[in-house]
Amino acid sequence: MKTVQPKIIVLFVICLLCVTGCVAPPKPGSNGSTSYPGSSQSGTDQVVENTTSAPLYVTIEAPYTTISVESVQRTAVPVATPTPDEYLQIYSTTQYFSWNASSFSFNLTKPPMIINFVVIPINVTGTKTVSSRFEEKADIDVSYDRYSPNSWFEITVRDKNSGRVLIQDGFGTYKQYSDDTGQDRPRTMKVIQPGIVKIDMAGNQITASVNVSVIKTGNIE
């Protein structure tokens, strides 16, 4: 009995090995094969239904969007809008001129100096006889109403130290100026050279209104 028992154990082990060796592993594509999400079986993609277990240890978050270079919005540095210069009237006059003149000077540190003027010349009215070009017709009397040819006005701006004329303008054919009186829109002169300037005003048979302004900052303490 002692010699038979070991033989029986050996035979049992041999039989067990034979039975185990007869079980073949499942072949790919057979019912016993295991598929994995995203794998391909026999060259054909399989549609796999995705399932997600209820979160237990993680927090579901929205996925990141496509990563791209972050665009930096650059804000332009605001350009300060210069405030308009404040002008100050430094001289104003309304004067009748009859072969006379007046003058003043000013230390123009910061140009320009603006000179506006309006004139009212003397009007001349009357009648004038015009001869007819036809002998059979009598001469014709024509009425006229015009500026006096002797009415004129002139403004001369000079450098006070050198006497050099910087700008000059006026009214009247007597001085070969325009016959624009400035009553519709004031006549304007602009002095752009800095320094001590001298303004001379002269005229005849005319009333002139003159206003002179300069930039307050830099000229008037």
CATH number of 87-122+148-215: 2.60.120.380
pLDDT at residue 27 tops 70: no
Nearest partner of 194 among 168, 166, 217, judged by Cα: 166
Amino acid 65 reads T
Token couple for 180? 């624009």
Q: Report domain extents, the chain.
A: 87-122+148-215
pLDDT in tens, 137-168: 777 778 878 999 999 999 999 999 999 999 99
On the CB side of 166, how many CA atoms lie within 13 Å of its CA? 23
pLDDT at residue 29 tops 80: no
pLDDT at residue 181 tops 70: yes
Which stretches of 56-126 are DSSP H helices? none
pLDDT of residue 9: 59
Nearest partner of 104 among 221, 19, 211, judged by Cα: 211
DSSP H/E element including 7: helix 4-21
**Using the 8-state DSSP alphabet, how is residue 12 labeled?**
H
pLDDT at residue 6 tops 80: no
* Largest Cα span, the chain: 185
Token couple for 36? 């994995």
The model scores a pTM over 0.85: no
